[in-house]
Every structure is written in C-alpha cells, then in structure tokens.
C-alpha cells in the first residue's frame, strides 16, 4: 500500500467514525482498521510484529503499571 492509499483509507475511516452525515458501516470500519494495521505492522521490525496478538495488551498493562494506573 502506498502512502497515498494509506492516507486515503485513513481519511475514509475518519469520515465513517466522525461525520454525522455518513451512515455507520461496521464491516467497512473493521476492514479499514485491518488494512491500516497490516500496513503499519509491515513497517515495523520483524521481532515486534512476531510477538502475536497478546503482545499489545501486555505492553499496555506494563506501561499502565509503570505509571501507577490500576488495571480493571
């Protein structure tokens, strides 16, 4: 995906989420999020992308714990 395509998809996602005149389309929103996320993951080093789906939750919990934020 080129930067122009990425920016276009990001703008579409923003419109779907924030424009009250646009009808909500959950399937399209999730599709855009998946495409944008895949693009972002391709740009990261392999060791970060290979951690798996639980890695982000663990990282967020660690960051919250470091800030002293209680987890629910």
69 domain-assigned:
no
Residue 1 in this model has a pLDDT that exceeds 80? yes
> How far is it, in rounded angstroms, from Cα 34 to Cα 53?
13
Say if pTM beats, i.e. exceeds, 0.85: no
46 domain-assigned:
yes
Three-state DSSP class for 1? coil
User: What pLDDT score was predicted for residue 65?
Assistant: 54
Q: Find out whether 32 and 9 touch, Cβ atoms under 8 Å.
A: yes
Q: How many domains does the chain have?
A: 1
61 domain-assigned:
no
Sign of CA dihedral 46, 52, 55, 56: positive
36 domain-assigned:
yes
pLDDT band at 7 (very low <50, low <70, confident <90, very high): very high
Over residues 12-68, the pLDDT tens digits come to 999 999 999 999 899 999 999 999 999 888 876 655 444 555 554 455 555 555 555
32 domain-assigned:
yes
68 domain-assigned:
no
Q: Which domain holds residue 20?
A: 3-53
């Amino acid at each position: 995906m080129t930067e122009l395509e990425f920016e276009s998809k990001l703008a579409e996602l923003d419109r779907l989420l924030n424009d009250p005149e646009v009808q909500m389309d959950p399937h399209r929103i999730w599709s855009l999020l998946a495409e944008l996320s895949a693009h972002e993951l391709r740009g990261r080093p392999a060791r970060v992308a290979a951690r798996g789906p639980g890695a982000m939750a663990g990282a967020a919990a660690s960051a919250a714990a470091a800030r002293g934020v209680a987890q629910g």
